[in-house]
Amino acid sequence: MKLQGIFTPNIVPFHDDRRIHEGELRRYVSWLIDKGISGLYPNGSTGEFIRLGFEERKRVAAIVADEAAGRVPVLAGAAEANIDLVLEACAHCADLGCAAVSVTGPYYYKVSQESIEHYFRELAERSPIDILLYNIPQFSNEISVEVVRRLALDCPRIVGIKDSSRDMPRFMHTLAKIKPQRPEFTCFTGTEEILLPSLMMGGDGGTIATSGVAPETVMKLYRDFLRGDLAAATRIQFKILELIETMFAAGNFPEGFREGVNLRGFHAGRARQPMAPGEMKHFLDIRARLACLLADCGFNEVVGKLQPGR
């Protein structure tokens, strides 16, 4: 099955003591599916995968896959610090019935493009589940377009790329170098600011963090694009720009996205990176702005929810 559409990189709700809130995660995942998202993306950056332990990441993937129950495909993050753990995560996600896994380039240490290509070739040879390359050079080694092209054309197990480089020319070069020879290769953007332009140039959708807060809005943009109503899709694209800018402005990523989920009626809790006391006033100002934007999108349940963090 080709992966396409809007996959939601879900946040992970926490209890006040920062333990995973399984009941709220299940309720949130089911709500996203009911709102029409195309698929789920646990253990992504928005889900703070890097702040979870390995067993916690496995548990998050298990909860999401169980709650999805085949209603939508699950693309699970499987980035780990060494290849053996990546393969263990791949096997776990395969056992859960996930559609594919997403794997970043190696992170922390700088690695040559030659070694990055060798790394993914070994993963492709040994993984029991399909792989999407995850290019996010802000936080891991970049996977060059030429390496992506060779992997795409040589490795059937590598079925796509999620590109969060925020680089539209790079995205277009990826399309141009791969799609003519392998049209089924999934090209996702991880940047909602260029979601519509990427779709117009032949992209397949994206892993869009804003869809975890306003799934109705992001899915409407996607549906408007599919039916050729570019004027309507363009209006939504500009609305999304303001929404994500506000959530990023909250600081301490992904606190702004967590607060958006709180405002939609969930108990998301706080991120695992504590917020400095001096940041709280700014955060509450941003929270008020976010509530207004969500209300402007038609989500009137947020009105009156401006009390300090829940």
| The predicted structure's pLDDT at residue 309 | 42
Distance separating alpha carbons of residues 118 and 121, to the nearest angstrom: 5
Number of domains composing the chain: 1
> Residue 310 domain-assigned?
no
Distance separating alpha carbons of residues 195 and 280, to the nearest angstrom: 31
SS3 of 86, please? helix
In the structure encoding, which two tokens stand for residue 194, read together? 């260029």
> Residue 307 domain-assigned?
no
> Residue 225 domain-assigned?
yes
> Residue 99 domain-assigned?
yes
> Residue 50 domain-assigned?
yes
Q: pLDDT, tens digit, for every residue of 226-280?
A: 999 999 999 999 999 999 999 999 878 899 999 999 999 999 998 898 888 888 8
pTM: 0.94
Assess contact for 102 and 77: CB atoms under 8 A: yes
Domain that holds residue 268: 5-302
Q: pLDDT, tens digit, for every residue of 94-144?
A: 999 999 999 999 999 999 999 999 999 999 999 999 999 999 999 999 999
In the structure encoding, which two tokens stand for residue 211, read together? 């869809």
> Residue 116 domain-assigned?
yes
CATH code at 271? 3.20.20.70
Distance separating alpha carbons of residues 198 and 5, to the nearest angstrom: 12
SS3 of 82, please? coil
> Residue 309 domain-assigned?
no
| The predicted structure's pLDDT at residue 205 | 98
> Residue 204 domain-assigned?
yes
